Each structure stands twice: as C-alpha cells, then as structure tokens.
Amino acid sequence: MDNDKLMEFLGRFVGDVGATMAAGNVVVGEQLGLYRALAESDKPLQPADVAERTGTDARYVEEWLRGQAAGGYVEYDADAGAYSMTEEQAFVLTNPDGAVNAPGAFQLALGSLRALPRIVEAFRSGEGVGWHEHAQEVFVGCQRFFRPGYIAHLVSEWLPALDGAEAKLAAGARVADVGCGHGASSVLMADAYPASTFAGSDYHAGSIRSANSRAAEAGLSERASFTVGSAQDFTGGPYDLVTTFDCLHDMGDPLGAARHIRDSLASDGTWMVVEPFAGDSVAANLNPVGRVYYSFSTFLCVPNALSKDGGYSLGAQAGEPAIRQLVTDAGFTRFRRVAETPFNIVYEVRP
C-alpha cells in the first residue's frame, strides 16, 4: 500500500465528512440569522455579540462560529477572538437573489438525504421513488438552488439567445413552462414580459399550490397560472415558446414529453431546454460539478424517472449527445446549444 496515496484519500474523506456536517450548520446559520448578523456588522463580532443580535445562546453560537471559520465560511481574528465575513462570503450565504444561494443548495441536500432508507431499498428492488415522496425541504431547496441562476441569466442572456423568441415575448406570446416546480422561472418571465401569458404545469400538486401563491404575491396571477399536469399531457397550445428547466432528465418518459411538446408548439415555435451542465462522457464529468449532480441524481433524478412509465432514466449528467438524440427521435429538426453557465446548459429546439 502506498502510504502517501492513503493519506491523500483519507484527507479527502475527512473533508467530505466535514462538508456533510457543514450542510446542517449552514442551514442553521441562515435560519437563525447568524450569517446576516456578521455580514451587517461594520466590525468583527464576538460570539456573545452574534448571540445577542440574533436572540440565540452564546455557547451554541461560539461552537458554530468555530466550525464555520475552520471551513472558510467566516473569518476569524485570533488576537481579538472575533469573527467576520468577507463580501464574497456574504454574497453566497446571505443573498437569496444572488448568482449562488448556498443555503438553498444545502437545504436541498439535507432534504434529499431524508430518503436514505427508501433509496437503499430502491437499489435492491430497482423500483423508483417519486419526486412527490420526498421531504418538503427538497421542493423548497430545489427552487432556492436553481432560482438564483435563473435570476442572473434567464431574461438577460438565455431568452435573447433564442432565435426570435424575445421579440415574440415582447409583443405578446403564449408560453408553457413544463415541470415548473414552484414557478420561479414562470414568475421571472411573466414579470419581464407583461404582454405575454405563461402556463406552468407540474405533476406535483404541492409545488403547483406554491407556484400559484408566488404568482399572486407578485401580482402576476392574471398572466401566470399553474395547473397540475405531466409533461406528456399538459394542455393548451399552440404555444410560441415551451420551456423545461432542469427537469427533462428527471422524467421516466422524456421522449413522450418531447413529442407532446412538439405537438403543442406553433409551427414557428421554440422549445428552450435548460439542463444541468454536463460533458459528453462520464470521464468529462469527473469533476466537482459532476460529483454534485451525480450525487443528487442518485437520490432524486434516477429514482423519480424509474417511478414513472416510459423506460428512460437519463440522469442529471445525460449530456448534449443524449439530449440531441432525444429531441431528434421526437421529430424535431433543429437543435443547438445557445448558452451555458457553470451549472446549466441551454438548448434551442425547433420543429
């Protein structure tokens, strides 16, 4: 045995254990306002100061701060025994509308892990675990994980990259947002394009209730409505634009969904497919982002697909060749990658 390689692997293991426990601590810090107290202070704070500002117990806060400093999530001044946050740390940990929302991602991870007994059994049986069978933290965390990327890129970059779609939206288009979840994407588009109407659909009734509530809170209910329905049977059309955000790979019958989307599009309509960033092969995905997506996919995406009829299980790292083949099999004739971020790839699909 190579002792250096052993120590290297043990170091990776220790880091992973620390990261696993850090997930819960990040959510604690957000929910109790501990990060925000540090970020809003104009000077480093003692643990007792953080506790006083947040109405929490100083001893708990002290231990929490030590762990956060060890992980690099807050800064520690050893001479003063005080803690602070950099601008970058505060941006990732306290800004729900920023480009990255770390607490939401950790909430999604913790919610996913609640299904551990079911996933272990599914490995043995080959049966699926439906999206609706997961903990509430999964639905909320998923919306919080992906929404910042949509805020940063959807209206400013992704929609303008589609051939002619933005002009249609500005003039007044009919849009179907399939697999809409809590409706973050629909609400963002409806707010940006007041002449257009948006019909969101998702098979998960709880998410649809949340989506309708969010649209109402934003004053957009007249133009953004949400109904329970699958990607294979959503109603309406013909639509000028159909969108699927980070959900095609979750479907047990994505081919059936693609065919239904094609039938629901206007002759000059567009399907915008937003999928997790992935390379064209397993080897190309052996990196930190690929690890995140493969891990989530094992607990969420593949189990949901296997719980449905259809025979597919693309997984979150399906990659461009698999998506291209799918839409081609569904009868589409035009396909191109139009945008990408570290977490997503955007495809334009035309009849």
Tally of domains in the chain: 2
Whether 100 is covered by a domain: the verdict is no
Picking from 40, 66, 94, the residue at the C-terminal end of a domain is: 94
Q: Are 146 and 175 in contact (CB under 8 A)?
A: no
pTM metric for this prediction: 0.92
Residue 207 has pLDDT above 90, yes or no: yes
Output the six-digit token pair for 235.
């109603």
Q: Which single residue is written with the structure tokens 């704070």?
A: 45
Q: Do 24 and 166 have their domain in common?
A: no
197 shares a domain with 287: yes
User: Domain of 73: which CATH number?
Assistant: 1.10.10.10
- The answer to the question of residue 99 being in a domain is no
Q: Angle at the Cα of 10 (from 7 to 16), degrees rounded to 5?
A: 145
- Residue 267's pLDDT is 95
Residues 189 and 133 in one domain: yes
- Of the pLDDT bands very low, low, confident and very high (cuts 50, 70, 90), residue 140 is very high
pLDDT above 90 for 100 = no
Residue 27 lies in a domain: yes
Vertex 245 angle, CA 126 and 147, to 5°: 110
Domain hosting residue 60, numbered range: 3-94
> pLDDT of 64-98, one tens digit each?
999 999 999 999 999 999 999 999 999 999 998 88
Same-domain pairing of 157 and 64: no
- What number is the average pLDDT over the span 324-331? 97
In a shared domain, residues 89 and 121:
no
Residue 102 forms part of a structural domain? no
Question: Is the same domain home to 232 and 283?
Answer: yes
Q: Inform me whether the pLDDT recorded for 34 exceeds 90.
A: yes
Domain termination site, one of 42, 70, 94:
94
The DSSP 8-state label assigned to residue 83 in this structure reads E
Instruction: Decide if 290 is inside a domain.
Output: yes
> 140 in a domain, yes or no?
yes
The lowest-confidence range among 20-24, 58-62, 97-101, 181-185 is: 97-101
Average confidence score pLDDT of the chain:
96
Statement to judge: residues 168 and 55 lie in one domain: no
Please write down the HEC assignment for all residues of 113-136: HCCHHHHHHHHHHCCCCCHHHCCH
Domain annotation covers residue 45? yes
Confidence of residue 237 (pLDDT cuts 50, 70, 90): confident
Q: Are 331 and 259 contacting, i.e. CB atoms less than 8 angstroms apart?
A: yes
Supply the pLDDT for residue 99.
82
Q: Flag whether 188 is in a domain.
A: yes
User: Do 123 and 75 have their domain in common?
Assistant: no
198 and 270, same structural domain?
yes
**Mean pLDDT (whole number) for 218-239:** 95
17 and 113 in a single domain? The answer is no
Q: Copy the structure tokens of residue 9.
A: 């692997």
pLDDT in tens, 3-15: 899 999 999 999 9
Whole-number Å distance between alpha carbons of 78 and 316: 43
Q: Kindly report the three-state secondary structure assignment for every residue of 278-315.
A: CCCCCHHHCCHHHHHHHHHHHHHHHHHHHCCCCCCCCC
Q: Report the distance separating Cα 190 and Cα 169, nearest Å.
A: 9
* Same domain (yes/no): 59, 135: no
* Same domain assignment for residues 115 and 226: yes
Residue at which a domain ends, from 94, 123, 150: 94
pLDDT digits (tens, 9 = 90+) for 259-311: 999 999 999 999 999 999 999 999 999 999 999 999 999 999 999 999 999 88
